[in-house]
Structures are given as C-alpha cells and as structure tokens.
Amino acid sequence: MEKTSWKYKGNVFNCEVTHSIEGFGEFKLTASPGEELMISLHADWLRLKDTSSDIIIESSAWQKQYQHPVAQSTLAWQGSFAHTSRNSRAFLEALEQGLTWQVNIEPANGIQYQVNSTPVATRSVVQQFRLCQQTLLPKPFSYVRRVDLQFNSLSSKLDPQLDSDLVAISRYIDADPDVKEVLIDGHADASGDHLANLQLSKERAFEVQSRLIELGVPAGMIQVRNHGARSSIAANNNAQGRGINRRVMVRLVKDTTSMATKMTGLSL
C-alpha cells in the first residue's frame, strides 16, 4: 500500500502530488502561481521525441457505474518527460473520486505500453492539495521580477486596476528571502516641459513606493529613481507610444550569492 500511495508536498511557490509507478516512473500533478494545473508523467527508462500519448480517466474495477472513459487529454513527450495542462482540473476531480489515470503509449514498431495509476488513499491528498492552491502566490517570479505600471497623462495617481500587480509583488517579496532590493523607476512621455516631466516621473515613482510600503514592503529595500522623458521605450509622436512611456517600472533584485549557495548545496 505504501508503494501505491499518492504523496503531497507544497508551499506558497508550488503544490504537487506524486505517485510512483513501479517499473516505469512517476505521475505528478502540479499547481504553480498564475498557471494552469499541470499533469506530467516522468519515465525512468523510456525516451520519446515528437510523440504524444492519450491520458484518460477510467473507473476502477469496483466503480463500473461510470461510463468509459470519464475524461481525457493528450500528453506531449520531451525526452523522458510528458506533460499537459488541458482538462487537468477533471483529472484532479477524478483523483479525489478514486478514479484511475491511464496513459496509452505507442512509441513505434507496434510496441504499446499502458501505464495506470492506483487510486489508493487519494481523498486526503487532494484535500491537502486544494488547501495549498488557496495559499499560492498570485504570480510567479517570472511575472513580478519586472512590472511596468502605466499612468494617465499628467497624472501620478495609481489606477486601481494596477493594485493587483502591487499586491502580487509585495506577497512575493514577503515569501522569498532571496529578494534583497526593489528598484522603482519613474518615467514620463515627452509632452510638455522637461522639468515638469522630471517632477511628474518622480511623483509617480513615489506613489508606487508608498503603496508598496502600505502593503508591507520594508522601506529600506526600496530604491527610487526618476528619469523624466529619458529612456523612452516607445515613440512619443503618437498617443499609443506616449501611453507606454508614461510608466513606473518595478524590478525585484535577488541575492545571487544566496541563490548560488542553495544550488551548491543541492548538488552536493
């Protein structure tokens, strides 16, 4: 029973349940911030390229009341790893109901493999997984590492719709001790007076700084700069380009020394 059980682990960065298939590899269901659920199959000895395999939900022997198959998707292979996010929520629900995941693999030359999960003690594992999903960060580091916040013309007032990005940034900073610095750069478009644009970009940057501090980001981590109309990223001769240039860029800087130490520890 121990060999056929599903195992859970998770934190605010990642939630996953895994299930070992003796003689083949491992099933995994993963939830990550801002991403769809991911189903994956890791093979210990099989390697495939440019190949896909059907994965279906089947009733167990004692659950013949379900029509076959209950749901299905397609796994895309990359070496020893196959994955899909399509219809993944149905597979989570099936796991909770004690249904079987089945993958049909046809590598070549008429060879066929059928990989089945064992739906043992799944309910409590899925409950833990769902609770973990509720505590996930809103966005991954790939999103919050650099965020551009747009402003209206002649305004330093934050659009309320941008607050979700600032909340995501603050929550990530609170969760990841490797983030050591927050860089805030205020910008303006080229309309109007040079000194006025410089002041406006400063006000925009301080507006973002104030909101991040309200959300719990330590003031000592934040470095604020303002650039006026310098460093434009779009043309200023049209409304669309000026709108892009009216921005505050927020960047998170991680301690690379700490990250390197962690990676070294993992490799030992």
**Over the stretch 194-240, which tens digit does the pLDDT of each residue have?**
999 999 999 999 999 999 999 999 999 999 999 999 989 999 999 99
Task: Write the pLDDT tens digit of every residue in 74-106.
Answer: 999 999 999 999 999 999 999 999 899 999 999
| Confidence at 69, pLDDT banded by 50, 70, 90 | low
Burial 164-187 (b: 16+ CB within 10 A, else e): ebbebbbbbbeebeebeebebbbb
One-character DSSP codes across 119-130: -BS-HHHHHHHH
Task: Write the pLDDT tens digit of every residue in 158-170.
Answer: 999 999 999 999 9
Burial 49-83 (b: 16+ CB within 10 A, else e): eeeebebbbbbeeeeeeeeebbbbbebebeeebbb
Q: Can you give the pTM of this predicted structure?
A: 0.85
Task: Write the pLDDT tens digit of every residue in 184-193.
Answer: 999 999 998 9
| Residues 6+ away with beta carbon under 8 Å from 224 | 184, 186, 205, 206, 209
Q: Which CATH number fits domain 6-135: 3.90.1150.10, 2.60.40.2540, 3.10.105.10, 3.40.50.12500?
A: 2.60.40.2540
In angstroms, the CA 99 to CA 223 distance is 53
| Confidence at 70, pLDDT banded by 50, 70, 90 | confident
Q: How far is CA 36 from the centre of its chain?
A: 8
Question: Which CATH code is given to the segment(s) 141-267?
Answer: 3.30.1330.60
In angstroms, the CA 135 to CA 172 distance is 12
Q: Which of 12, 36, 252, 35 is nearest to 144 (CA)?
A: 252
101, amino acid identity = W
Give the lowest-confidence range in 24-28, 142-146, 151-155, 261-265. Answer: 261-265
3 has a pLDDT exceeding 60: no
> Would you kindly state where each structural domain of the chain is located, as residue ranges?
6-135, 141-267
Q: What pLDDT is recorded for position 63? A: 54
> Taking CA 265 as the corner, what is the angle to CA 174 and CA 34, rounded to the nearest 5 degrees?
35
- Is residue 148 within 8 Å of residue 234, measured between CB atoms? no
In angstroms, the CA 153 to CA 246 distance is 7
| Residues 6+ away with beta carbon under 8 Å from 230 | 187
In angstroms, the CA 173 to CA 146 distance is 13
